[in-house]
Amino acid sequence: MSELKAVDWRDAWRAQLEAGLARTPLQPRGGDLWLPGLALVCLIVGLSLYLACGYHAGFIRLNDIAATYPSWVWQCLTVLGDERTAFALTLFFSLSYPRVFWTLIVAALIAIAYSRGFKELFDAMRPPAVLPAESFHLLGPGHERHSFPSGHSVTAAVFFGVLIYHSRWIELRVLWLLLAILVGLSRVAVGVHWPVDVAFGLMGGSLAAWLGGWLSARWPGPAANVALHLSFVLIAAALALTLLFDDAGYHEAAWMMRLIGLAALAVASWQYVARPLRRVGKGDQP
């Protein structure tokens, strides 16, 4: 009886995965063309800033402009680039759109190699390590090392880039694009990254999203693998749980992080436990 029950659980998850796969075609609807374009624009901006005025170009000006807006706005935007937040947000659609979830996993692995690799290679100093404290506005923790590229910008470009890749409507693509850019700018606003870091972070993240989409379309099998899918879901759930207790030093955004964490865990519990349990108990097919 217990073995039959286990088989029913696997069948329930597998049926939901198959239904979700049918919702997302392997071939994108034009969103893939946006990402190389975004990467090229970011490359041009980053190189122009660096070649014209140096690595620290534009920071003081942008940081001063950002200070005219409420600090909680920038803190809420910047935590959207936290890897834990991005993984937590995937729980809202991981089972309904498993192909998008798989694309994000592939893109994230590429992005991690890009971000962590260049951070260790250059080990650039951040604004708090270079500028006098009174010369700029610092919100949250004053990190000092591993400035290039901006990891939060990479994460935002990956997450929203994959959504751009798979979105059907231009209006949604524009929204995701604006959010990615705002998260990047928030890293200058909170005082922990130079604009060049942000430009190359968005560039690398958008390329990782594009390459992740290309690879996942040619290697779609793992998206339907129940064991692999659940393994990544458990990782995302564990990261969502940390949002309830750790605000990463951005105290004005703690409420949003807790809300995202709680909502993500609630949705995951319903999709992966409560709904299959009801259907297995009734002997229905998902």
Residue with tokens 């962590």: 116
Summarised one tens digit per residue, pLDDT across range 123-150 is 999 999 999 999 999 999 999 999 999 9
d(CA 173, CA 162): 10
Range of the domain at 146: 26-282
Whether residue 187 lies inside any domain: the answer is yes
Query: In residues, how long is the chain?
Result: 286
Beta carbons of 161 and 184 less than 8 angstroms apart: no
Digit-coded pLDDT (tens) for 1-26: 444 455 477 788 888 888 888 888 77
Residue 125's nearest CA partner among 56, 53, 202 is 56
Domain contains 14 = no
Section 186-200 average pLDDT: 98
> pLDDT, tens digit, for every residue of 196-233?
999 999 999 999 999 999 999 899 889 989 999 999 99
Confidence at residue 282, expressed as pLDDT on a 0 to 100 scale: 60
pLDDT tens sequence across 87-103: 999 999 999 999 999 99
% of the chain surpassing 70 pLDDT: 95
CB atoms within 10 A of CB 231: 11
Domains in the chain, number: 1
Whole-model pTM: value is: 0.93
What tokens does 35 get? 């990402």
- Distance between CA atoms of residues 125 and 190, nearest Å: 15
Question: What pLDDT does residue 4 have?
Answer: 44
Q: How many C-alpha atoms does 65 have within 13 Å on its Cβ side?
A: 7
Lookup: tokens for 18: 């198959």
Residue 235 inside a domain? The answer is yes
What's the pLDDT score for residue 1?
42
Burial code of 159-185, b = ≥16 C-beta within 10 A, e = fewer?
bbbbbbbbbeeeeebeebbebbbbbbb
Within a domain: residue 73?
yes
Q: Is pLDDT larger for residue 281 or for residue 79?
A: 79
The mean pLDDT value of the chain amounts to 92
Q: What is the mean pLDDT of residues 174-187?
A: 98
